[in-house]
A and B are shown apart, each in its own frame.
Chain A
């Protein structure tokens, strides 16, 4: 496939070429290629296409890029490896296919990583998200000692056992791109694969944003307002779940997705507060627990929807 690509689309030259190659690969497999979720999240897992769709009995295969925000990781654009905003490439296959490892290795081959030239390894790394009440077993995938992906078999999400189990692949796109492009500084990545005046670098796109958001995350975010946002989001989430709850006539839950948005919001606000350093060690635990309770309630409500495998009384009859 690579041979047919024009040079500016090749993953070893172009950040967007890397993304498009992965899109192609997983589209060919049969995934629904989705677009990023339009909210601030800490990782691709938060996208409802993963968190919620991992629940319930229905098969589901999807792939998408998710911009991810980790306010604490901001370095004002001065660290060549750390960003407060970066891209994850997320694949979720449910149930996990028997050849998931081979599929993953195939995707590495598609972006030009030759497993007889590079040392690819699956190193134990069990994944857990305390805020989502989720955990799974899997590995960090190493390429020549660098962690380039996370590979997880979800066992539980929103505190609910996964049945069937989904396989989740998360590629750290910037790291992978730095590897295949052979650059040491993320801001030097070639974004569009062009050269000379036409070239757009990762720094051209994101350096200013990293500087500005670092200022915001660490210095200027108004913690009183954020705190209020957290409380509001929590309240709204609970209210929406109550309002949409399954009615006596057996109709499914009617408002899980808007409620889950509020859960996502609360989680991001918590991350911002954390970056501002205003959350003590003991408070931290209680915030995490509050977000987890929202996630659990959303997960349980999702099972009461059609996408979650719910059959209304009439259907079942």
Chain B
């Protein structure tokens, strides 16, 4: 069966768009062919910076004829209806129609329409211009004479105005051949805005710019390779990686691998040639990450380590050029080295600047006092500057300075709960955001935290303070490492809780897929911090605390504004002044009341958000969804306790006692539900004098005991003991259902028995809502 080869050659396509574009092309073309009634055996997309190519194998040569019967009007129908039928069915005269009979309706016309199959070439030629015109580039452009207005021509090319073709960069040629495995393929002829399809492509821009005539994929790929173009991006990646590793190895180095960079670089070359460049050893004084990012971001080069080193870099880098240079690449390596050197000089400058005094040191006193910073130290200065400049965290949540002040307070408060020294936690918290004011982080935002840690160590901070500056951003997702140093934990919790409460208070919660402030991640972080270290945190209290602090700032600000507004309108007489004070205190009372009213629902809502995060997390960990629901109550704010309870409940339900008790409790609940629905009287409390059977009595005793014991055990957070207490219920419950008929004729006895059943529900309810457990 025949094969199709397509190549769309253009000026350089951005590296980041190539892979997806090639896949889009494959999908659009194969979908289009199938819709048109063709089938194919295999399809593969290829790409380089200058071309997208598609190799489709085993395409059917033509589509099948399609037979269709179209019902027409009755043979007795008026002439107009018959004419309409002829037109719509495409028949020349009514003789071409068949007459079918129907016992009820009589004779009517039917057109037998045959849509003949079409040659694949024709289908392809029809399909491709539309695909090219509607191709989903993330960003596309117009160019050249065709982009001129309609009615104007430039050098013989007509302007096409708004209809002109859009492509990622100017489209230069289209190659499209189709033909059987043996035998001569043909050019599928079509045209898109002056570019006519053909069987010609061109090789490497500099090495082999001459035209190459192509027949099918095999000779296409081979001729291009001979013309120094490797069309398979994955092969280019492999070549780059292997050559880079080998070149590094031969020079006593280990390549620092970087998949993202490899992907990008493979999209910048058609003929990769790896070369080794060099920079001065003195640059190695800056942190390896800064060197790596500088060289990567600006020069798209790889770095290397001396063999066997885990952290330290070598003063070499690996670059990927696009030519086999006449001098073996000496000039290219030299030129790249010069640029790398200039960039590293900038990086050194940033690194040194960050360790020197800030220029506006004299203006930072107030901020230093506010945050208890030591202006003799560089990182303290940067934090003072962050505060001094009034950099906003969020328009409605105040400045970074205010935020850090709150985090410090909170970290100090949380520290004892997680076993951290409050002073160290406060110190780490006050420096946690300071590196946002450093030059290096300004240049490479992804180094926030990591740079703070380095600068902190350089100014002699405690190692756990320095570590906390980096680790307080953690964990960043479900698989990121959870810090274990208590100081890091305290600051990490404080930072996340402040953020969450803040955004909740201004009602900027995540909705659907939108979570611009990564609040889900922050909440998950709190969940993981609490669980991984088995830390008991009473979230509601913490929320209320943070909310109170944030609100205090808000209220102060509002009062100031109100006072200013009043002053502006005040005449200045004595009476006025009195009114003025009254007005302010009245206003203050009102806004404080409003704030207090808001706190409760806000905290409840945030807590339920945490419950959702916890459920998602536990489900991912393989916990039973129904058990989590059974255990969580709207007020449950100790995540660790919830998890332990789920575990204990799960274990209990695995036992015979557990299974039977669950069944018994369910039975009790079902009976109660049915009777409640019927409106049967249920006694408010159990009256032992109405017991008729021994089993009633023993159940009552067991229930009272179990309920008490379970409650006590839960109070002590001894969930296994709570389960043990419940397990004592199993026998009496079983016996009760075996020997006692709840529906006694005596209404009082019946009401009393129902009350007893509700006590079973109440007792088990001390541990979990059994009705939510799925068998």
Contacts and interface: CB of A to CB of B under 8 A. Distances in A.
6 contacts: A57-B149, A57-B152, A57-B159, A117-B327, A136-B141, A164-B148
Given A122-B12, A123-B268, A163-B161, A145 B144 contact: no
Contacts of B251: none
Nearest to A58: B152
B145 interface: yes
A230 to B, nearest CB: 24
A115 B206 contact: yes
A97 B16 CA distance: 26
Interface in A203-247: none
B340 interface: yes
A64 interface: no
Given A98-B172, A116-B206, 6 more contacts: A116-B207, A117-B325, A124-B14, A144-B331, A165-B144, A179-B335
Contact of B147 (A95, A137, A143, A145): A95
Contacts of A136: 141
A98 B331 contact: no
Interface in A111-132: 114-124, 126
A107 interface: no
Interface string B293-333: 00000011100000000000000000101110111000110
B142 to A, nearest CB: 5
A2 B159 CA distance: 38
B169 interface: yes
B141 to A, nearest CB: 4
Interface in A169-216: 179, 184
- Top 7 A-B pairs ranked by shortest CB distance? A144-B335, A164-B148, A124-B14, A145-B336, A122-B12, A119-B321, A165-B147
A162 interface: yes
A57 B148 contact: yes
B91 interface: no
B229 to A, nearest CB: 15
Interface size class on chain A is 35 or more
A81 B168 CA distance: 33
B81 to A, nearest CB: 51
A139 interface: yes
Interface in A93-109: 95-98, 101
Main secondary structure of the interface of B (DSSP, over half): loop
A120 B49 CA distance: 13
Interface string A131-164: 0000011110001111000000101000000111
Contact of A164 (B141, B145, B336): B145
A interface, over-half SS: loop
A96 B159 CA distance: 12
B340 A145 contact: yes
B612 interface: no
A46 B708 CA distance: 84
Indicate the member of A96, A117, A126 with the most B CB atoms within 10 Å: A117
B133 interface: no
A43 interface: no
B594 to A, nearest CB: 29
Contact of B143 (A81, A123, A153): A153
Contacts of B604: none
Contact of A124 (B15, B147, B334): B15
A184 B338 contact: yes
Given A98-B170, A144-B336, A165 B15 contact: no
Interface of A: 57, 59, 81, 95-98, 101, 114-124, 126, 136-139, 143-146, 153, 155, 162-165, 167, 179, 184
Contacts of A123: 12, 268, 300
Given A116-B325, A118-B335, A163-B159, A137 B139 contact: yes
Contacts of B326: 114, 116-117
B148 A115 contact: no
B573 to A, nearest CB: 39
Contacts of B335: 118-119, 143-146, 179
A96 B148 CA distance: 10
B469 to A, nearest CB: 25
B338 A146 contact: yes
A308 to B, nearest CB: 12
A164 B12 contact: no
A95 B154 contact: yes
B605 interface: no
Contact of B141 (A59, A98, A153): A153
B339 interface: yes
> Which of A95, A120, A121 is the most central at the interface, judged by chain B CB atoms within 10 Å of its CB?
A95
A243 B161 CA distance: 32
A254 to B, nearest CB: 24
B356 interface: no
A116 B139 contact: no
B126 interface: no
Contacts of A124: 12, 14-16
Contacts of A117: 325-327, 331-332
B143 A96 contact: yes
A209 B338 CA distance: 26
Contact of B11 (A101, A126, A145, A146): A101
B119 interface: no
